[in-house]
Amino acid sequence: EPRKDVEEIFDSHAHLCDEQFIDDIGDVIGRARENHVNKITLVTIDRKEFEAAINLKRKYPETILLCLGMHPCNADLNDIDAVVEDIRNCKEPLHGIGECGLDFTKKTLGEDPEAVKKEQYSVLLRQIELANELDLPLNIHSRQAGHYAIEFLKEHEAKKVVLHAFDGKSTYLRPALEAGYYFSIPPEVVRDPQKVKLVSKIPLDSLIIESDAPALGPVKGERNEPMYCRRSCEKIAEIKAISTEEVARVTTANFKALFGV
């Protein structure tokens, strides 16, 4: 049972279907709860993960919130119809669409950047429309595409948005904050000056905690876990010169407002 006397922390973004968690997912969830990380939003990268995600949700219904979507690095116009159909027909309670968004890194854009971008935009648009139709938040990836993602989300009237592990310039924050978008902060903030700067510029009312497990952990190259959301909390508290409890309380309230928990 999670302790009631300690502020709980909610993880808005974790890849629990990742192969790195196959052998010890029960222990990973146990450690999260020991660290008062009592809710974990599980995100998917493509349709191949949907079944595993739904099974994990059924196995840990108290802890896991389900988010289904197609990641921009896996953007596939030939499969987006099936993705939308599966999400519409999902029997489990859904709390979000994602991970979806834009990824303009050289590696992802490859030999034909314009064609890849076009496909990413089309796949994202379908997911924005679906999120609006189902009244669900979007869990957004925007690597090296921060202001493009924000512009596109606003243009297509995305209502509920969390921008995960945002790597854009702080000059792009204002339009997102004005639109009521949230920003989620991974444990990597303890070792990443860009994330520290980001946190200093975003009001606490617009921040949410995430792990992005197994990536973006406190130690580079080591597997990240939802329990390390506590580290995000502690670092945000340090940056903003407030208590860890205050950060936990407000970010959890923000999470509840966004995901309708």
Q: In 10 A of CB 197, how many CB atoms?
A: 13
Per residue in 11-31, is it b (16+ CB within 10 Å) or e — as a string? bbbbbbbbebbeeebeebbee
Query: Looking at residue 2, what is its pLDDT?
Result: 46
Query: Looking at residue 170, what is its pLDDT?
Result: 87
Amino acid at residue number 35: N
Whether omega before 99 lies within 30 degrees of 0, making that bond cis, reads: yes
Query: Looking at residue 221, what is its pLDDT?
Result: 93
Rounded CA-CA distance 29/59 in Å is 11
Rounded CA-CA distance 126/161 in Å is 15
**Total-model pTM:** 0.96
Residue 96 near residue 39 (C-beta atoms within 8 A): no
Residue 177, strand partner residues: none
Q: Which of 172, 237, 154, 162 is nearest to 199 (CA)?
A: 237
pLDDT (tens digit, 0 to 9) for every residue of the chain, 261 residues total?
544 556 899 999 999 999 999 999 999 999 999 999 999 999 999 999 999 999 999 999 999 999 999 999 999 999 999 999 999 999 999 999 999 999 999 999 999 999 999 999 999 999 999 999 999 999 999 999 999 999 999 999 999 999 999 999 888 999 999 999 999 999 999 999 999 999 999 999 999 999 999 999 999 999 999 999 999 999 999 999 999 999 999 999 999 999 999
DSSP 4-37: SSS--EEEEEE-TTSGGGTTTHHHHHHHHHHTTE
Rounded CA-CA distance 214/176 in Å is 27
Residue 139 near residue 97 (C-beta atoms within 8 A): yes
Residue 178 near residue 224 (C-beta atoms within 8 A): no
Structure tokens at 173: 């924050």
**Mapping DSSP to helix (H, G, I), strand (E, B) and coil, where does residue 257 land?**
helix
